[in-house]
Structure 1
Amino acid sequence: MTQVGEGHETAADEAGPVMTFGAPTVGEILAERYQLEEHVNNDSAGRQVWRGIDVILRRPVAVVLRHPGGDSATEMLQAAVDASRVIHPNLVGVYDAIDEGERAYVVREWVDGEALRELVGRDGPMDPRRATAIAHSLADALTAVHATGMVHGNVHPGTTLIGDDGRVVLADARADSADSTERDVRAVGGILYYSLTGHWPHAEAGHPSTLPDANRDGNGTLTTPRQSRAGVPAYLDDLTMDLLDRRVTAPTAEALTVELSRLDSSSDDDYEDVGPLRFAQGSASEPVRSTRKIFIGVAVLAVIAVIGLVFGIRAIGDSGNDQLASSPDASTAPQTDAQGNDGGTSTDAPSATPKKFALTADNVRIVDPPKTDRADTGKAKGTVDDDPDTVWKTQGYTTANFGGLKPGMGILINLKSAKHISEVRVETSVPGVTMDARTGTVDPGDNNSGDDKIVKTYKKVNDNSPEKTSGTTELLTGFEADQTYQYILVFISKLPQDDDGSYRVSVQNISVYGTD
């Protein structure tokens, strides 16, 4: 019997490392009501999880203790208060939240069972039907949470509890400003992926953890569950990948619940063929949302149509050559291709298939705006050599915002010529980095004034406010397809906290992909 779930699968809170207090003892009674029975574990945020007894109602409870209380425990306590307002069979019940100053604790429902993380870790990937049922339960719980205007913010295998009675319970709501209903829904896709493969897609699902990352191809692209194991229905494979694909609009939790219910309740004969997806965004009368499989089908039909058109035009041309040759207007009529372009006009559209640009030390340098000793100069070369042992490691700072000394720092990439860019992939040593991509038209110089001008004049390629990275691989997108770029700045504005209490990060590799 294992009870886990409280706390993110991340490092300690940004305020600093969380130290568990003293040594609570078996039999100790908190708030004159909750008797500690057994220390179960310390969660990923450094808090102690205990099995206890409510001596008044005589029911088992889980007690999550944190030291200290006060301001540093505000987020934990507020999340508990918010969660207590939503009653749902697939949400863990929250009974109490108490701040004693020196320590704070949350009292919640005890679930006899274990976390999905441990279940899959021990038994391996799940049967597709069971994976579907678990995702269905989570989506239903999130529907209830989102209906109140709240966000759960902490959906992952450690907070998904599987009771001994088969009940699926979502624990430890803990949303912050970076969380959203969309992120909750995409995390359900991560739960599906983990249940089916035993791997957690860190970058796509959010909530970094010590779980093994998803399988990826040579370009770092996520492989599908069907590519990882046999027996995954094509429909479930498509659904999982669509939920994890940020290019595909995420459904509401309610729409996802309806879709998973349709799959969950299908008969064995229909389970393999229940598509297409029916994400109705808002009302049942809206059109069915296209999925990856539909996109592929449309593309195939388009190719067939073009081929048919080409051969049809060729056949008509062959049969009418004599007539065209004798026509007085044949020599002067403009010649057009199948797209209506005349023969004297050519288009220089970029290729549709992105490729990785070759980068060397000559293409990159550190940008560090303030007047300092520029100790990081020359260290950018380790980020483009595809060697995980050579990195750029920032110096340690006292706070996440570089100790207030500067707005941030980063790596300037000079592609040497203007190119069409699709994305920049950045690999870091740990998650929790706030970064974005910026572009400009010139490098004013590798010096303090030049770097200061870059930071002040380069424009972000994405209007969205940058969020903390949820994994160690981040995709920076937002580049305009019809524009070309020569200078790209990968700019870090906030650092994660290291084990020694300082704030720093190592940038292990940077890759630029484009269509030139």
Structure 2
Amino acid sequence: MTQVGEGQEASESAPQVMTFGAPTVGEILAERYELAEHINNDSAGRQVWRGVDVVLKRPVAVVLRYPGGDSAMEMLQAAVAASRVIHPSLVGVYDAIDEGERAYVVREWVDGESLREIVAEEPLDPTRTTTVAHAVAEAVAAMHATGMVHGNIHPGTVLIGDDGRVVLADARADSADTRETDIRAIGGVLYFALTGHWPHAEAGRSNLPDAVRDPAGAVAAPRQIRAGVPAYLDDLTMDLLDSRLALPAADVLAAELGRLDSATDEPYYEEAGPLRFLSGPRDTGAAVDPGGPRSEPQRATVRKIAAGVAGLLVIAVAGLVFGISALGNGGDTDDTAAPPSDVPATADSDPATGSANNGKPKNFAISANQVRIVDPSESQRNELEGADAVVDGNENTGWEPNGYKSANFGNLKPGMGILIDLGQPRTVSSVQVTLSDGGASAELRAGAADPGSSAAGDEQVLSSYKRVGDPFEAFDATKMSFTDFDPDQKYQYLLFFITEMPRTGDSQWPFKVGVQEIVVAGLS
């Protein structure tokens, strides 16, 4: 299995780290930990090994960092803090050693696979999803009870043992992490387990495929993506990802997931539904449109537990009240999934309801003369036609550059892209790009002007435009969503720029990718 490195999400493409005096199989660290097998390098370059504690005769995972000293202080401090929390759903931390030229952390070895690896083959069924999320929530609750924050919850740090045990590994909280980000990430774990996608904007950026979104950038619910997801699990997942709603404490969430986990075999379970978070929108100072998406929590009142349904708990903590739908509720009991619409919203209507947009993001109408190809190459500029096809509303048409011998455009240029002129400065909420194939690396940039289509002008665009959010690296899906826009800033010129192309199988020109459609949403 992939035993992720301390505090980092493992990446299959992470480069090998060559260090002087690197460890070898059979070497014994601290006169106790024998290295047996190099497993992988994490995305920060730390080496992950399977080892054996020769004193206690048990397998261990060893995470080595070069060098040690001050540069390894964060890793060591996180390990020391994590070692103080003992819980069956937390990976045990056994040792943390700094040798100066290197430092390493020794922790429990888990025979099994990460949630990321398991879901790569097939999303989990609702019952197993609930069990996994329950264990993660209990682990987080144990950490929060001691005043700690985990700060690194994602499908790569959720490990599922061959014996069925679910454990959370590699805490590494920094100043940006809070209890709230941990709870949101549990919502992300639920969403990923059910759909195979990770909601970047809501749960934290990752090299996993982003959540499926509508043209306005809103996350599609699991029930819209996959048939058979129960309403109670769909609601719980989306509530945890909804920034307008107050979040429960970790122990409250663990109790609710425990109730759902233990009740899966009860005949009343499907009918009764879950306890819900009914405290309404979070106090952010902004008005919440009662008619907007997922407005049910704002309209709901505390629902009573149906008579005869034993064992259901009503928990109230810090003003968070849970309720349950009455058995006779005429609400959503249809488990038939509705597929997400691929039709972009009109410029004056809501994509979900068709009603007028009252201050909500909408898709901008972009004409052919507002887009052009950017190619910062002095010698080869013969791929500048066809940009109009990326804004024609048809994902079956698009722009495609020539094929190349290597992913990085044959080392001829840093990449190619499409510049979009919105006509005037606008408040942008999302940019969704549909590609012909997965596996591309790309980024979004924004600038103040378009110097014109020429090699010099395109080089100026690339050097002066600033990146919006994080880039996508070898993204294994075809829809990229960029949502990290400053709400107080207006944007007119946007550049979607491809830096690496995937292999398509053509033996002569094997690397190629097309841009099928670009949809920009925001406020006029």
Deviations 1:143-169 (Å, cap 9, x if unpaired)? Answer: 222344433222122211112332211
Return the alpha-carbon distance in structure 2 between the equivalents of residues 435 and 153 of structure 1. Answer: 26
RMSD (Å) for aligned C-alpha atoms: 5.5
Q: Are 1:277 and 2:269 an aligned pair?
A: no
| Matching residue of 2:296 | 295
1:226 match: 223
Equivalent residues of 1:86, 1:145 under 8 A apart: yes
CA shift at 1:69, angstroms? 3.1
CA–CA distance in structure 2, aligned partners of residues 239 and 349 of structure 1: 27
Q: Percent identity?
A: 52
Conserved in 1, the CA contact under 8 Å of 2:217 and 2:483?
no
Aligned partner of 2:423 in structure 1 is: 416
CA contact (8 A) 1:8 1:207 kept: no
What is the one-letter code of the residue matched to 1:512? V
Q: Which runs of 5+ in 2 are unaligned?
A: 281-289, 301-355, 379-383, 409-417, 454-459, 500-514
Identify which range, 148-157 or 92-101, moves more after superposition. Answer: 148-157
* Correspondence 1:97-496 to 2 at 5 A: 97-122=96-121, 124-209=122-207, 211-217=208-214, 221-267=218-264, 268=266, 269-278=268-277, 295=296, 298=299, 350=358, 352=360, 354-358=362-366, 362=370, 385=390, 415-417=422-424, 422-423=429-430, 473-477=481-485, 479=487, 487=492
Partner of 1:512: 520
Residue 8 (structure 1) aligns with: 9
Contact kept in structure 2, 1:156 and 1:187, CA below 8 Å? yes
Aligned residues: 423
Tell whether the 8 Å contact from 1:189 to 1:243 is kept in structure 2 after alignment: yes
Q: When the two structures are superposed, what TM-score results if normalisation uses the length of structure 1?
A: 0.61
TM-score, scaled relative to structure 2: 0.61
The 3 A distance-change label for structure 1 pair 364 and 243 is farther
Q: Is the 8 A contact 1:83 1:173 kept in 2?
A: yes
Q: Map Cα deviations across residues 7-31 of structure 1 (whole Å, 9 max, x no partner).
A: 3135999xx9844666633332101
Deviation (angstroms), 1:382: 7.3
SS at match of 2:186: helix
User: Is 1:80 aligned to 2:88, yes or no?
Assistant: no
Q: Deviations over 1:474-513 (max 9, x none)?
A: 3145647xx9x67477899xx9xxxxxxxxxxxx897431
CA distance in 2, matches of 1:135, 1:359: 45
Name the structure 1 match of 2:28: 29
Corresponding letter in the other structure for 2:31 = E
Q: In the aligned structure 1, how far is the partner of 2:222 from the partner of 2:186?
A: 14
C-alpha distance after superposition, 1:381-419 (max 9, x if no partner):
97994957569x99xxxxxxxxxxxxxxxx997533576
- Further displaced range: 267-276 or 17-26: 17-26
Q: Matched residues in 2 for 1:223 and 1:358: separation?
A: 24
Whose radius of gyration is greater, 1 or 2? 1
Work out the CA distance in 1 between the residues paired with 2:370 and 2:164.
58
Distance in 2 (CA, whole Å) between partners of 1:418 and 1:105 is: 51
Per the alignment, residue 55 of structure 2 pairs with 56
Equivalent pair of 1:143/1:257 in contact (CA under 8 Å): yes
Q: Offset of 1:436 from its aligned partner? A: 9.4
* Shift of residue 298, structure 1, vs aligned partner: 4.8
- Shift, 1:467, TM fit: 8.3
Give 1:92 deviation, angstroms.
Answer: 0.8
Q: Alpha-carbon deviations, 1:146-204, whole Å to 9, x = none?
A: 34443322212221111233221101112344433333222212211222233334444
Does structure 1 retain, via aligned residues, the 8 Å contact 2:429–2:521?
yes
| Conserved 8 A contact 2:2-2:10 | no
Q: CA deviation at 1:233?
A: 0.5
* Structure whose residues are more often helix by fraction: 1
The residue aligned with 1:44 is 42
- SS of 1:74's partner is helix
Structure 1: distance between partners of 2:100 and 2:387: 46
Greater shift in the superposed pair: 466-475 or 266-275? 466-475
Q: Is the 8 A contact 1:383 1:510 kept in 2?
A: no
**Alpha-carbon distance between aligned partners in 2 of 1:180 and 1:467, rounded to the nearest angstrom:** 21
Distance change (3 Å), C-alpha of 1:416 and 1:280: closer
